[in-house]
Structure formats: C-alpha cells, structure tokens
C-alpha cells in the first residue's frame, strides 16, 4: 500500500458518523477527503473555468420564496408522477457515468436505493455496471429510464435502444448537448486507468487515449452528426417516450414540442460541456414564458414535461423549479458523493434528508401537495441577472475545489 493510499484509509477511518451528516453538502465535503484522487477529479470536474458549474447552484439563490400562511399543513404530500409513473418526490436519479469509481457496487447502489425510496433511476449509457446487471437488480415494479449517447454506428444504437425497450425501460432520454465532450481540466490532469464502461467494451472501442482523463477515454464513440431529422429514425425503432436531455434555450424546446416529443431536460450537463451556458433553472423560466406565448401552454404539462438538472443541493432548489413549471428535477453528483463516502447507507441517508427537507419546507411555504406549489410562491424576477449580490453559500463554496494551473515538477536539491 502506498503512503498516499495509507493516508486516504486514515481519512476514511476519521469520517464523521453518518448521524452527523445533516445535508447533501456534507457528503461532498467527506467525499472530497476520502475518494481516490482520480475518482474525485472525474466526478467533480467541469468545463474550462467551471463558471457554469458554479452558476448552476448560484442560480437557485436568485429565486426567493413568497410563502402563504394560515393553511392546514398537518399533512403534506410531496409525491408526484413523472411521465405517468409514480415517484415519492419530484426528483429522479439522473444518469452519471463510471459509478464504480466511487464504490465497488457502482450504480447498483442507486438502483437499490431507488427501489427502497420510491424513486426513478435513469440508467446511463456509460455505467460501470452493465445495463443488464442494473435492470436485474431492480425489483419487478421498479420504473427505470435510460440515458442514451448516440453512437456513430447506428446499428449499435439500435441494438441498445431495442434491448432497453425489451427489458422494460419506460422512457428514452437522448443526450443532445455532447457532440464533443468539454474540456474538464481537473479530470484531464489524471490518467484514466479504471475498467471501461460495459457499452464501450462491447463495441470494441476501449482502445483510445487514456492519458487525458476518464471523460476523454470513454467518449470517442459519440456521434457529432446527430440532428433533428434523426428523431424520425428513433421513432421507427422504439415506442418509448422520447425526451431530449441537454436543451438550453426556448427555441429548441419549442422545436421539440412541435415534433411531438414527450419532454426535454433543461440542462448543461452539470457544467461539464460549454462553459458560460446558462443554468437549467434560468432556462426553465424563459421556456415557460415563451411556450405560453407561442403555443398557449401552461406548466407543469402532462403532454410535454419539463425537467431540470444541475446544481441541486436542497429540497428548496427542487421546490423552486417545480414552482416555475418543472415536473421533476434530476440529481446526480450528490448521490455519487453519498455512496462514495458511506456506501449504501450514505445514499439512504441522502434520500432521507431530502424527504425531511421536503416535509419541512412545504409546510413553511404553505403547500400541502406538489400541485399547490405554484408560480406565485416564488419571486424569480432576478433569475436572468448574472451579477447580483446574494448571501454566500458557505457550505457550497467550502466544498468547491479551485482549479489549479500548471505547476513545476518537483526538483531535487543538488545539496
């Protein structure tokens, strides 16, 4: 065992007791200390100067509540339906790659927790565990979605999509914000030496440059030629509802609606693609206003559902998105940090924390059900203002690991 690994094991032994973890920020703080360096670099990294990564979280701070009072909130219910399927809260576990970097069971931690807590998991194309392993680990009634990176070889994509539908996947989320992967410099400073994701190995595409970090090593198959016309082909090979993941403006959302899709995820890939792309929640406010103006739509809308991901750390973040018209919100990194730092018990605790936050904050807001969380309960008038003073989020800022530039190699003294 190396000196570095021995020190890491010592930090694992010094973790706070799980009962001392009070919020999702705490999991991130512990994960930063106890995860292997390469794993932390992959999970935490974002594009270029990581401005969008931080903005995703900061955008929620520009939305303020307008609570209602004197309502009987003895009983509150934060369950909902996502694409027609029941969920215990307006949250789904969004797709994140390489789950085994943080724990030997990888994505299976999320599958088991989703079953236990009544959530929907979105299986990633680039999971460490195989697709069938994950589906086999789910219980019979469990709802699963699938996130798809479209392969340049459409026969491979067709095989994946048809197999997913045959295994009972309820919706297909097609990633559209990654014609090329962004420069994630924390990750690029590491050499990827973990096992390739199952789908990369199956396609025989694992023989790629592993010197530029995990993201570059596993993504060379993604098709940069994907375009709107390809959606007709997808309709010809599956009956699953189609959702575009990574929409970043109202014009493309309107196009998706007009083409009869089931919805969109307003997302910038967790700040990992185009730096200075706007946050999903800011785009949400724009989309809701424009689609009402252009097509007379109101949200949430069962025919065309809006989802958001990126920067969510509290139930209040989710509640703000729901008030603005989102059906549900995807959470990714915090759940990875939870099981990377405490294993299966960590993800259980993370979901318990969210349930408790929903109960308290819905009472304080005066909303007894998700349907009662309405636009009038938030003030989002500053959402499009990118320079505005708000109180600092010390927990988030304390966890953020600042980017480092190039450094001199260690030089041994001649003395």
Q: What is the set of active-site residues?
A: 149, 177, 269
Half-sphere exposure (CA, 13 Å, Cβ side) for 98?
23
Determine if the peptide bond prior to 93 is cis (ω within 30°): no
Tokens for 411? 């030089």
User: Which residue in this structure is represented by tokens 């931080």?
Assistant: 54
Output the CA torsion 228→234→235→240 (10° steps): -120
Residue 17's contacts (CB-CB under 8 Å, 6 or more residues apart) are none
Tokens for 394? 């010390």
Residue 208's contacts (CB-CB under 8 Å, 6 or more residues apart) are 216, 217, 218, 220
d(CA 367, CA 72): 9
């Amino acid at each position: 065992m190396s000196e570095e690994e021995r020190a890491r094991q010592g930090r694992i032994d010094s973790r706070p007791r799980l009962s001392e973890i009070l919020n999702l920020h705490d999991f991130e703080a512990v994960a930063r200390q106890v995860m292997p360096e390469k794993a932390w670099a992959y999970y935490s990294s974002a594009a270029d100067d990581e401005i969008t990564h931080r903005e995703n979280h900061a955008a929620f701070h520009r939305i303020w509540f307008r609570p209602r009072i004197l309502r009987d909130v003895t009983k509150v219910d934060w369950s909902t339906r996502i694409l027609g399927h029941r969920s215990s809260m307006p949250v789904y576990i969004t797709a994140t790659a390489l789950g085994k970097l943080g724990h030997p069971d990888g994505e299976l931690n999320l599958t088991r927790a989703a079953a236990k807590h009544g959530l929907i998991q979105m299986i990633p194309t680039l999971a460490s565990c195989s697709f069938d392993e994950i589906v086999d680990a789910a219980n019979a009634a469990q709802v699963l979605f699938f996130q798809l990176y479209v392969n340049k070889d459409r026969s491979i994509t067709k095989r994946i999509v048809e197999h997913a539908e045959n295994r009972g996947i309820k919706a297909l989320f097609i990633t559209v914000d990654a014609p090329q992967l962004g420069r994630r410099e924390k990750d690029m400073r590491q050499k990827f030496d973990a096992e390739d994701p199952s789908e990369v190995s199956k396609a025989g595409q694992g023989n790629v440059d592993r010197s530029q970090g995990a993201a570059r090593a596993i993504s060379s198959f993604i098709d940069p030629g994907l375009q709107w016309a390809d959606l007709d082909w997808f309709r010809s090979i599956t009956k699953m509802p189609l959702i575009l993941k990574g929409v970043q403006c109202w014009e493309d959302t309107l196009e998706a609606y007009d083409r009869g899709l089931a919805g969109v995820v307003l997302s910038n890939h967790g700040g990992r693609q185009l730096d200075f792309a706007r946050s999903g929640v800011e785009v949400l406010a724009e989309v809701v206003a424009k689609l009402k103006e252009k097509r007379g739509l109101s949200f949430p809308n069962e025919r065309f559902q809006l989802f958001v991901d990126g920067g969510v750390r509290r139930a209040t973040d989710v509640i703000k998105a729901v008030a603005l018209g989102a059906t549900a919100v995807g959470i990714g990194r915090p759940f990875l940090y939870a099981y990377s730092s405490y294993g299966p018990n960590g993800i259980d605790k993370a979901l318990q924390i969210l349930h408790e936050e929903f109960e308290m904050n819905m009472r304080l807001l005066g909303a007894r059900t998700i349907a009662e969380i309405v636009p009038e309960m938030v003030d989002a008038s500053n959402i499009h203002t990118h320079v505005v003073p708000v109180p600092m989020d010390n927990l988030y800022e304390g966890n953020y690991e600042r980017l480092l530039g190039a450094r001199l190699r260690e030089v041994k003294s001649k003395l």
